[in-house]
A and B are shown apart, each in its own frame.
Chain A
Amino acid sequence: MPETFQDKVAIIQFPGVNCEYETARAVRMVGLEAELFRWNEDPHMLDHCSAVILPGGFSYQDRIRAGVVAAKDKIMGKVSELAREGRPVLGICNGAQVLVESGLIPGIHWERVDLALAPNIMADREGYYCTWIYLRCEESGCVWTRAFRTGEVVPMPIAHAEGRFAITDRDVLGEMEKQGQIALRYCTPAGEIDERFPVNPNGSVSNIAGVCNAEGNVLAMMPHPERATWLRQVPEDLGGPWGGKRTSSSGDRNGLEAEGPGMMFFSSLAAKEVDE
């Protein structure tokens, strides 16, 4: 009898992803059930799942272009169908690249590829970049950010070589702005938008760090909330309120197990399920 994923959050495990276990753990921490789904299993097993998460990593070793090979997999047809029905779908880092290459994000023209996550453009360096940045939560109807206040600033880790949101059609970008689809932007610790490196760590257009679809149930974000789920994951030298909390909890085992800034993405999903 195959597992049905009834009311569970399905974490899609493409070959080469490497954040699936910590993502599942973060989901379980907010009281939801999570299960890994191997990409080549029967897509119908997901018919009754409660949500889908595409975790970070390097699906298909980033061959050809990050996310593009996974985007062509049969399972993405099912994810597209579930997204269209309104099921929450989150793509983190490589998962975001898969959603963009599938045309589920921005989703203005369904399954049309209207965006790219292009190689980073950074001052004095190129390639893979790994650091903590600040995110500003923008006004949007996104189900994955509902636990945040509009304008709230949170620190979050990034780790990618191809994370620059790029678009050639300015009309589509305008549409995304108008429909409140830009859910997350890179900003300074004070919440100001500065297009220059390192505030904008990859040269993304309009400092975009996360885009949702117009309906708000699908979010593609480059930062890794599952790597900031517990306070112990926050660096001691980060500074600001979160760095301060982390420093004051040093040596306090229970204190370090408190919520980190990334937990709110998963709490947002849990809150949605409670509402329903």
Chain B
Amino acid sequence: MARFDLWVKLKVIDLVAQTAWMTLTEKLGLEGELLGLARYSFWRMEIETDDGPAALDEIDRVIRLDSAFTNQNKHLYMLRMDEGPARGDLLLDKDYPVLVENGGGRSGFAVDCLVRELDTEREEGYRSRLNARLENIQVNGLAAGEVWRILLDAGNEKEAEQKVERIVVTTSRREGLLLNPHYQRLEILSIVPI
């Protein structure tokens, strides 16, 4: 079973991410803790295949032609098989936007937080859509949602994880912003030092 991750980002300034940044720093008092923020649309596909590179090319062909996934007039994307070969023009491994002034030299962690809906209907819709267009392979499992890449000050990975949970999961008027736990859930995809 091979895993294919599709990351899609706006080419222009992402006003949703900007609003999230301002809300977190100016209204929820996280100025100083947060170093940066970026947002991506994300799909993770699991596919049974003996020929990974051919599958990668086939998925690439489909997602480039279907605006439910990418629109090349407004999106950058990266489609990657496991941790190996990739297609697309999004340089994900270099996309760590530090938004604080003079923050370039500060260290911390970048945490990729996937926000998925508890209800799987939308994910099933994407899976059916892909399978209707793919000719030689079929998607067996699919996860979809929004990934927030949160850059923050933290002493270690554990602390970074605790902090992002507090930032992401809305528990009260004063705590959390990026998901409502009554219909969404958080999956941390990765934590890397920056």
Contacts and interface: CB of A to CB of B under 8 A. Distances in A.
Contact of A68 (B118, B174, B180, B182): B180
Interface in B111-148: 117-119, 121-122, 125
Contact of B20 (A63, A119, A121): A63
B56 interface: no
B171 interface: yes
B74 interface: no
Given A72-B28, A72-B177, A168 B172 contact: no
Contact of A116 (B19, B121, B174, B183): B183
A73 B23 CA distance: 9
Interface in A36-83: 60-61, 63-65, 68-69, 71-74, 76-77, 80
A168 B179 CA distance: 14
Interface stretch (A107-115, A190-198, A266-274): A107-115
A262 to B, nearest CB: 28
A69 B23 CA distance: 7
B27 interface: yes
Nearest to B179: A65
B180 A118 contact: yes
User: For B121, B176, B183, which residue has the most chain A Cβ atoms within 10 angstroms?
Assistant: B183
A145 B27 CA distance: 34
B150 to A, nearest CB: 14
Contacts of B178: 64
A98 B130 CA distance: 35
Contacts of A112: 171-172
- Contact count band on A: 20 to 34
A63 B173 contact: no
Nearest to B169: A113
Nearest to A65: B180
A64 B181 contact: no
B12 interface: no
B16 interface: yes
B19 A63 contact: yes
B128 to A, nearest CB: 13
B170 interface: yes
B13 interface: no
Contact of B181 (A73, A119, A126, A168): A168
A33 B22 CA distance: 35
B91 interface: no
Most A CB within 10 A of own CB, among B16, B117, B125, B182: B182
Contact of B119 (A60, A61, A121): A121
A115 B20 CA distance: 21
A101 interface: yes
B173 A166 contact: no
Interface string A82-126: 000000000000000000011100000001111110110100001
Contacts of B183: 116, 118-119, 164, 166
B174 A111 contact: yes
A195 to B, nearest CB: 15
B19 A113 contact: no
A167 interface: yes
A121 B120 CA distance: 11
B88 to A, nearest CB: 26
B189 interface: no
Contact of A111 (B28, B119, B172, B181): B172
16 contacts: A63-B15, A63-B16, A63-B19, A64-B177, A64-B178, A65-B180, A68-B177, A74-B27, A77-B173, A101-B170, A101-B180, A111-B173, A113-B181, A114-B182, A118-B183, A121-B121
Given A60-B19, A64-B178, A118-B180, 13 more contacts: A64-B23, A65-B179, A65-B180, A68-B170, A74-B27, A101-B170, A103-B173, A113-B180, A118-B117, A118-B119, A118-B183, A121-B119, A121-B121
The 8 A-B residue pairs with the shortest CB-CB distance, nearest first, are: A116-B182, A118-B183, A72-B27, A116-B180, A63-B19, A111-B173, A166-B183, A63-B16
